[in-house]
């Protein structure tokens, strides 16, 4: 196998050198309304990996990120809770594109060996508007119109790949709260601090 980034031979989808150079977690925290959002990386330093979702081989990259970063973080958080009631993962609009859903991959491999369980495909956007490259005004004028069809009165972590302006996560959080879902926080791969995803 070859490293996704440098193309050198590697056992993992991303070699140790590229992990060291590009995928050292920063753990960026951001408040979006009443929602705490935790991101592992700065979007602009990891854009090559984030945009791998647009190609079929990106499947390997998102699986790698979920297993290496999301899974241990979520496991440590769940183990730290005194209340041992069920904790779930809910993904933001797990649409399948190019043969897979990057958000579904993050959820699936983040829950391996954990007491946290994913609930797939329960938060869907009725609007198919694309936000990439769009300013905040456009995002506010064109909401995603989420519908939630999952169980009510549960505790969950909200999962997405990137936070830019925060409008998507804020809208998703509001819809989930209206349906009795207590969101502990949202977890994303990257934070586009400037608020625009190119």
Q: How confident is the model at residue 131 (pLDDT cuts 50, 70, 90)?
A: low
Type and span of the H or E element at 107: helix 102-110
pLDDT tens-digit map of 35-77: 999 999 999 999 999 999 989 889 999 999 999 999 999 999 9
**Residue 198 pLDDT more than 80?**
no
> What is 24-191's CATH number?
3.40.50
Looking at the predicted structure, is the pLDDT value of residue 165 above 80? Answer: yes
Backbone angles phi, psi at 87, to 5 degrees: -125, 135
pTM over 0.85: yes
Domain positions in the chain: 24-191
Give Cα separations from 24 to 10, 40, 69 (angstroms).
Answer: 18, 8, 10
- DSSP-assigned letters across all residues of 34-59: TEEEEEEEEGGGSHHHHGGGGSTTHH
Short-list 57, 93, 63, 89, CA closest to 75 = 89
């Amino acid at each position: 196998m070859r490293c996704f980034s440098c193309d050198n031979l590697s056992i993992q989808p991303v070699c140790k050198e590229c992990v060291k150079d590009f995928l050292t977690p920063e753990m960026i925290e951001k408040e979006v309304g009443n929602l705490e959002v935790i991101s592992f990386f700065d979007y602009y330093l990891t854009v090559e990996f984030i945009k791998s979702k647009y190609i079929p081989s990106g499947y390997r990259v998102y699986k790698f990120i979920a297993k290496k970063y999301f899974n241990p973080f979520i496991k440590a958080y769940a183990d730290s809770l005194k209340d041992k009631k069920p904790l779930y993962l809910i993904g933001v609009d797990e649409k399948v594109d190019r043969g897979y859903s990057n958000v579904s991959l993050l959820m699936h491999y983040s829950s391996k060996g954990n007491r946290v369980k994913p609930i797939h495909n329960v938060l869907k956007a009725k609007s198919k508007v694309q936000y990439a490259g769009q300013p905040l005004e456009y995002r506010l004028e064109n909401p995603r119109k989420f519908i939630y069809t999952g169980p009510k009165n549960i505790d969950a972590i909200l999962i997405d790949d990137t936070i830019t302006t925060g409008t998507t996560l804020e809208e998703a959080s509001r819809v989930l709260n209206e349906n009795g879902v207590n969101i502990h926080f949202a977890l994303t791969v990257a934070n586009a601090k400037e608020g625009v995803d190119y």
